[in-house]
């Protein structure tokens, strides 16, 4: 009787030790990478449904057959977002193939503050077509994952917040396949060469 | 004959207390959309005098603060900075994607073609008011 109990107790000790060992040796869950390096580049993109400036669903199938440059930001962004969109509209003009040769898509990562009206007004700021999109928080989270986009709220003095977000533009070909990223640090010449690969 | 004057000039320069001589030029902002609460002001600051610092900006159009941009690791982050050094002889450019003046709580949208006054406050040179020109968002 006592012997059986001893064996049972030792078995428990062994199980506990094994569990502990497993917990200690298991790698720490890695924090989300800031620029989504975990996703293979070829996997970037895919079909999405968001909400357009008219408040109606906007399916990515509407971009089918047309190359596009997609950028994630927020309308309360005073510097990086308008700078990036201004650059894209300028480069599209330099391409000289017309507005239909490349769609410029802006997706809000701040759906709390950016409704269809906000993204619509923001996209209209430019004197050339820019597609402004928002969505439900779940829709935005999903498309962020598809494009390996990072974003996080950053509190500002006075209770307001800014949004830290991936700064790169994704260049997609007419089949919706990922071709290249354009980072803010790259020269216009480099950026233009990438756009030419899809809209040359 | 010229030597005493030169000596005097050198002596003055050696004091290191040359007053800063600041010129703020080419102040501009992009037009904003209706309902958009924030904007950004860019400008060029040239200092022909001694070391100085930009310690604040104010405008009747909105609240204004100095912001720096950090794009390390592919992520754009905007953060407030308390002051911007403008060393002797420096030309400091507040430019898109870099250090800029962020306007918050805009009372009305900024419209291309309009202009509005903004006061740049320097630790040494004091306040300097300039007109900020609003341009179309795709213009520059």
CATH number of the domain where residue A57 is located: 3.40.30.10
Separation CA B29–CA B137 (nearest Å): 8
Burial code (b: 16+ CB inside 10 Å, e: under 16) for A12-47 equals eeeeeeeeeeeeeeeeeeeeeebbbeebeeeebbee
Binding-face residues of B in 112-131 toward A, CB within 8 A: none
Q: For B74-92, how does the pLDDT look when each residue is reduced to its tens digit (9 = 90+)?
A: 899 988 899 999 999 999 9
Q: Is residue A31 part of a domain?
A: no
Place A5 in a pLDDT band, splitting at 50, 70 and 90: low
The pLDDT > 90 percentage for chain B reads: 69
Q: Among residues A118, A147, A145, which one has the least CA distance to residue A52? A: A118
SS (H, E, C) chain A: CHHHHHHHHHHHHHHHHHHHHHHHHCCCCCCCCCCCCCCCHHHCCCCCEEECCCCCEEEHHHHCCCCEEEEEECCCCCCHHHHHHHHHHHHHHHHCCCHHHCEEEEEECCCCCCCHHHHHHHHHCCCCCCEEEECCHHHHHHHHHHCCCCEEEEECCCCCEEEEEECCEEEECCCCCEEEEECCCCCHHHHHHHHHHHHC
Predicted confidence at residue A14, as pLDDT, reads: 58
Gap from A60 CA to chain B (nearest CA, Å): 25
Predicted confidence at residue A83, as pLDDT, reads: 94
Q: Give B-chain residues touching A117 at CB under 8 angstroms.
A: 35
Q: Is residue A101 part of a domain?
A: yes
Q: Is residue A26 part of a domain?
A: no
Question: What is the extent of the structural domain holding A136?
Answer: 41-199
Q: Is residue A177 part of a domain?
A: yes
| Boundaries of every domain in chain B | 18-135
Q: What is the mean pLDDT of chain A?
A: 87
Q: Mean pLDDT lowest for which of B6-10, B79-83, B93-97?
A: B6-10
B56 touches chain A (CB under 8 A): no
Q: Is residue A164 part of a domain?
A: yes
Both structure tokens of A110: 């701040």
Predicted confidence at residue A82, as pLDDT, reads: 94
Whose tokens are 């928002």? That residue is A134
Q: Is residue A13 part of a domain?
A: no
Predicted confidence at residue A160, as pLDDT, reads: 84
Q: Between A79, A166, A185, which is nearest B96 by CB?
A: A79
Predicted confidence at residue B14, as pLDDT, reads: 46
Q: Mean pLDDT lowest for which of A97-106, A155-164, B128-137?
A: A155-164
Residue A74: exposed, middle, or buried by beta-carbon count in 10 A (0-12, 13-18, 19+)? Answer: buried
∠ CA B15-B16-B20, rounded to 5°: 130
Cβ pair A80:B32 closer than 8 A: no
Q: Is residue A115 part of a domain?
A: yes
Q: Is residue A11 part of a domain?
A: no
φ/ψ (deg, to 5) at A20: -60, -45
The pLDDT > 70 percentage for chain A reads: 80
Q: Mean pLDDT lowest for which of A105-114, A174-183, B3-12, B56-65?
A: B3-12
Predicted confidence at residue B90, as pLDDT, reads: 96
Predicted confidence at residue B54, as pLDDT, reads: 97
- Cα within 13 Å of Cα(A191), Cβ side: 21
Residues of chain A whose beta carbon is less than 8 angstroms from a beta carbon of chain B are 34-35, 75-80, 82-83, 85-86, 89-90, 117-118, 121-122, 124-128, 150, 154, 156-158, 160, 162, 164-168, 183-185
Classify domain B18-135 by CATH architecture.
Sandwich (2.60)
Cβ pair B78:A125 closer than 8 A: no
Predicted confidence at residue B113, as pLDDT, reads: 96
Q: Is there a contact between B103 and B38 (Cβ–Cβ < 8 Å)? A: yes
Gap from B46 CA to chain A (nearest CA, Å): 22
Q: Mean pLDDT lowest for which of A18-22, A155-159, A195-199?
A: A18-22
The pLDDT > 70 percentage for chain B reads: 88
| Number of independent structural domains in chain A | 1
Q: Mean pLDDT lowest for which of A52-56, B6-10, B85-89, B135-139?
A: B6-10
Q: What is the mean pLDDT of residues A129-146?
A: 98
């Amino acid at each position: 009787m006592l012997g059986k109990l001893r064996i049972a107790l030792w078995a428990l000790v062994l199980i506990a030790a094994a569990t502990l060992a497993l917990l200690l040796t298991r790698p720490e869950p890695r924090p989300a990478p800031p620029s989504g390096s975990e996703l293979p580049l070829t996997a970037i993109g895919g079909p999405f449904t968001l909400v357009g400036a008219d408040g109606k669903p906007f399916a990515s199938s509407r971009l089918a057959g047309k190359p596009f440059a997609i950028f994630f930001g927020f309308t309360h962004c005073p510097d990086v977002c308008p700078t990036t969109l201004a650059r894209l509209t300028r480069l599209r003009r330099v391409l000289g193939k017309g507005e239909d040769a490349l769609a410029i898509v802006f997706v809000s990562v701040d759906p709390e503050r950016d409704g269809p009206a906000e993204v619509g007004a923001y996209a209209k700021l430019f004197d050339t077509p820019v597609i402004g999109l928002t969505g439900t928080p779940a829709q935005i989270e999903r498309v962020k994952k598809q494009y390996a986009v990072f974003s996080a709220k950053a509190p500002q003095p006075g209770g307001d917040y800014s949004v830290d977000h991936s700064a790169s533009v994704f260049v997609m070909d007419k089949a919706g396949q990922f071709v290249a990223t354009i980072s803010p640090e790259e020269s216009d010449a480099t950026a233009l060469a990438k756009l030419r690969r899809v809209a040359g | 004959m010229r030597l005493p004057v030169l000596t005097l000039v050198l002596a003055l320069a050696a004091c290191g207390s040359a007053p800063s001589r600041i010129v703020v030029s080419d102040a501009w902002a992009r037009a904003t959309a209706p309902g958009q609460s924030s904007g950004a002001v860019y400008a060029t600051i040239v200092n022909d005098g001694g070391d100085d610092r930009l310690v604040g900006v104010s405008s009747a159009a909105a609240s204004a603060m100095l912001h720096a941009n950090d794009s390390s690791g592919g992520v754009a982050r905007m953060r407030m900075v308390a002051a911007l050094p403008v060393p002797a002889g420096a030309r400091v450019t507040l430019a898109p994607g870099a250090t800029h003046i962020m306007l918050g709580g805009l009372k009305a949208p900024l419209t291309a073609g309009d202009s509005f006054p903004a006061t740049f406050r320097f630790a040494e040179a004091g306040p300097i008011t300039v007109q900020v020109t609003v341009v179309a968002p795709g213009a520059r």
